Amino acid sequence: MPDIPAEWLERCQSVTAKRPRTVIDHILEHGFITTEELKDKYGYNHPPRAVRDVREQGIPLETFRVTGSDGRKIAAYRFGDFQPLRIRKLSGRTGLSKRLKDALIAQYGCRCFIYREVMDERELQIDHRVPYEVGGDGDGQELNPEDFMLLSASANRAKSWSCEHCENWNSLKDRKVCLTCYWAFPENYMHVATRQIRRIDLVWQGDEAAVYEKLKSVAHDLGKEIPEFVKEVLEREAKLLE
């Protein structure tokens, strides 16, 4: 492992979130961490998400291949190039994150951008509209709130899985493709992770739960799964509007 400049070491030690800190501490001690270790030692069944958490903290990681316990090649991660310019751009980012969340809540309300459910502020997570691996933080010295969204934990996991299995995320790295994706702008999109899919994520909360239970009961009586039944109801309503 290369020598880490003091300012970058300080940056690494400033990360407090459990998942990225686990990855950082392991690399600091052992030089690198493998997908096998993330799964077997730390219980992270989706290693790319844990690695992405580190990169979103501004800590550079590079991927390489090693031989796993079963003799197959697996991914491993180590620190990348520590550039002095980048640490200057990241200074004060913790405070900026609070300002970002406040700005997003002021403009859009305290709700998940994907599921549209109203939530407590502490349950909402800030996420890049365009994945950091594709678009980074942009060229500006200040982060623009319009480049971010608020997501519930479940929506964030769903977005991460979809993005990380997307051809654009893995190879093309075209920001324009992401900007027309459901996961960036669910209110106005052309595709879902480059696939020609249209989707609606519905959440019934509070008193609305009784409506959901009624729909589920009717669907059960008809021998149908509730997504299939709700889709049929919506299709019938759409025909009435023609």
Low-confidence ranges of the chain (pLDDT < 70): 1-2, 83-96, 137-142
Is residue 69 within 8 Å of residue 36, measured between CB atoms?
yes
Within-domain flag for 1: no
Same domain? 99 vs 67? no
Within-domain flag for 159: yes
CATH of the domain at 51: 1.10.10.10
Within-domain flag for 60: yes
SS3 183: coil
Same domain? 126 vs 234? no
Within-domain flag for 211: yes
Same domain? 108 vs 172? yes
The confidence score (pLDDT) of residue 242 equals 84
The confidence score (pLDDT) of residue 45 equals 83
Is residue 142 within 8 Å of residue 91, measured between CB atoms?
no
Same domain? 143 vs 160? yes
Would you state the structure tokens that stand for residue 68, as one six-digit string? Answer: 């796993």
For tokens 């990241």, the residue is: 90
The confidence score (pLDDT) of residue 85 equals 45
Same domain? 181 vs 236? no
The confidence score (pLDDT) of residue 71 equals 93
Residues 179-188 pLDDT 10s = 999 999 999 9
Same domain? 169 vs 196? yes
CA distance 42 to 38: 5
Return the ∠ at Cα 212 (arms to 187 and 154), rounded to 5°. 50
The confidence score (pLDDT) of residue 8 equals 79
Same domain? 135 vs 233? no
Strand ranges for the chain from DSSP E: 33-34, 61-67, 73-79, 125-128, 148-151
Instruction: Note down the domain range covering 236.
Output: 207-240
> Total structural domains in the chain?
3
